[in-house]
Structures are given as structure tokens and as C-alpha cells.
Homo-oligomer: A and B are copies of this chain.
Amino acid sequence: MNKEQQLIDVWMKEQGWSYWKPHEILARLMEETGEFARLVNHEYGPKKKKEGESVQDFEDEIGDILYTLACFANSHGISLDAALERSIQKVAGRDKGRF
């Protein structure tokens, strides 16, 4: 996702914008995960309302969460790819001692 993170960074600079403060990005993350949660209940829970299109809807919600994380990561010099790789190593190492 390095390419996408750079796109966001270039674009923010072109707009003359700076990233939100950590607590503000966190609140946005909470809002976006809340929308994802609502969709999970719509698709798999007691509030079933949707037919079809659900994969597209989930892609949208996951994308918004990733965008929010990318803003936090960019303002802290963190690579999403590297972060995910480390978590995979951690999980795999915990269970099998390899990877």
C-alpha cells in the first residue's frame, strides 16, 4: 500500500492541508468502524436489509477504515505494508515458529 499512502501524501500537500491530530483521526476511525459494524449487522445480523451488492458495500467501508489508518500512518512515518507484515510474522511465529 506504499503507493496509495504516497498518493494521499502528495495530494494533502497539493491541497495545502495537514493531517488531523491523533485523537481526531482516532475519532474518525471509531466512526468508520461503526459504519462497518452497522453493515455487518445488516448483512449477517438481526437487521437484515440488504440484497446483493454487499461485497461492494464492505469494500467501501473497509476502504474508509484503511484511508483513516493511512492518514495516521503518514503522519507518523509508518508503512501500512510493513505493519501488516510484522503482525503476520507475530501471529505465524506464535503458532508455528516459522514465516
The interface of chain A, by Cβ under 8 A from chain B, is 1, 4, 7-8, 11, 15, 20-24, 26-38, 40-41, 43-46, 55, 58-60, 62-67, 69-70, 72-73, 76-78, 80-88, 90-92, 95-96, 99
Please state if B27 and A80 are interface contacts (CB–CB under 8 Å): no
Q: Could you jot down 25 A-B contacts, CB within 8 Å?
A: A1-B80, A4-B88, A7-B88, A7-B99, A23-B45, A26-B36, A26-B37, A27-B38, A27-B41, A27-B45, A30-B33, A30-B34, A31-B35, A31-B38, A34-B34, A34-B35, A58-B72, A58-B78, A59-B78, A62-B69, A62-B73, A62-B80, A63-B84, A65-B65, A66-B84
